[in-house]
């Protein structure tokens, strides 16, 4: 009869202890880890508001002699905090940059009339093609006559 070596029995003892100890560890990992990950998604700042827009404000000129009207971003209207600093909310810098890039600042508060749709000429051509065969036949006949006159009597259309 063979007896187990002391190293083999120690290894079996350690394996059985690690198997017993790993089950609660797995349970903790399965319950705590998702809670920690989902907790990281919660922010004390709350949802961001990306509402934008501009309003006309009358401001005094630099020389103090007159006034002018300027479009000011709504997002940049913030009150000072307790320390007296005015912090700009998210989106304010974007609106200020857009204001500087626009050719006519009045477009920020009142847009321009839109022109015709880009597909209007294509739609009109399709409508004429489908619904106005007489005009298309007249145009074809005119082009055939112009081609005959340009080429002389040797040009033929072979019944086109």
pTM of this prediction exceeds 0.75: no
Q: How confident is the model at residue 142 (pLDDT cuts 50, 70, 90)?
A: very high
In terms of residues, how long is the chain? 160
For residue 69, what are the β-bridge partners? 58
Give domain limits for the chain: 54-108, 120-151
DSSP helix/strand/coil, 28: helix
If 0-12 CB within 10 Å is exposed, 13-18 middle and 19+ buried, where does residue 75 land? buried
DSSP helix/strand/coil, 70: strand
Q: What is the Cα–Cα distance from 94 to 102, expressed in whole angstroms? A: 12
Percent of the chain clearing pLDDT 70 (strictly above): 70
**C-alpha R_g of the chain:** 40
More confident residue, 105 or 3: 105
Q: How confident is the model at residue 143 (pLDDT cuts 50, 70, 90)?
A: very high
More confident residue, 77 or 69: 69
DSSP helix/strand/coil, 17: helix
Q: What is the Cα–Cα distance from 41 to 13, expressed in whole angstroms? A: 43
Which pLDDT score, from 0 to 100, does residue 58 have? 86
Is residue 75 within 8 A of residue 95, CB to CB? The reply is: yes
Q: What is the Cα–Cα distance from 158 to 144, expressed in whole angstroms? A: 11
Residue 55 pLDDT > 70:
yes
């Amino acid at each position: 009869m063979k007896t187990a070596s002391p190293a083999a029995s120690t290894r079996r003892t350690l394996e059985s202890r690690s198997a017993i100890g790993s089950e609660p560890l797995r349970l903790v990992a399965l319950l705590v880890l998702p809670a920690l990950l989902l907790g990281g998604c919660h922010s004390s700042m709350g949802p961001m508001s990306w509402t934008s827009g501009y309003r006309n404000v009358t401001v005094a000129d630099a020389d103090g002699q007159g006034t002018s009207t300027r479009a000011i971003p709504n997002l940049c209207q913030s009150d000072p905090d307790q320390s007296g600093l005015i912090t700009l909310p998210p989106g304010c810098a974007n609106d200020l940059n857009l204001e500087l890039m626009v050719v006519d600042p009045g477009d920020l508060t009142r847009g321009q009339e839109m022109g015709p749709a880009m597909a209007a000429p294509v739609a009109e051509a399709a409508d004429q093609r489908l619904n106005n065969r007489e005009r298309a036949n007249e145009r074809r006949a005119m082009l055939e006559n112009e081609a005959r006159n340009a080429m002389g009597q040797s040009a033929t259309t072979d019944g086109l």
